[in-house]
Amino acid sequence: MMDIQIDLYRDWINTAKEVFRGSGHPLPDSISDSEASLAYYLQSAPSEEEAYMQSEANKEKLLELKNIILTNLYQKACT
């Protein structure tokens, strides 16, 4: 059996943190994933509520994609 590890959400959080770091406004090292995501979406959302909704929707989408990818890989391995 294959041992596949994939964490699209973690990769996205790391990318969002890098965007802030590259812009000269790094996020604190101790910031939580949800806070980092919210900070990212606050850059373009019209309100904090909208930023929160976008953040949650992104997390759900990435977790769903992760599950689809893993399901497809495991199904391929079993055939």
pLDDT of residue 2: 67
pLDDT per residue as tens digits for the range 17-73: 999 999 999 999 999 999 999 999 999 999 999 999 999 999 999 999 999 999 998
pLDDT of residue 78: 79
pLDDT of residue 62: 98
In the chain, the amino acid numbered 14 is N
Question: Quick check: 79 pLDDT over 90?
Answer: no
pLDDT band of 1, cuts 50, 70, 90: low
Q: With contact defined as beta carbons under 8 Å apart, do 2 and 19 qualify?
A: no
pLDDT of residue 4: 81
Residue 10 sits at the vertex; the CA angle it makes with 5 and 11, to the nearest 5 degrees, is: 85
Q: With contact defined as beta carbons under 8 Å apart, do 55 and 37 qualify?
A: yes
* Positive or negative torsion for Cα 34, 35, 37, 41: positive
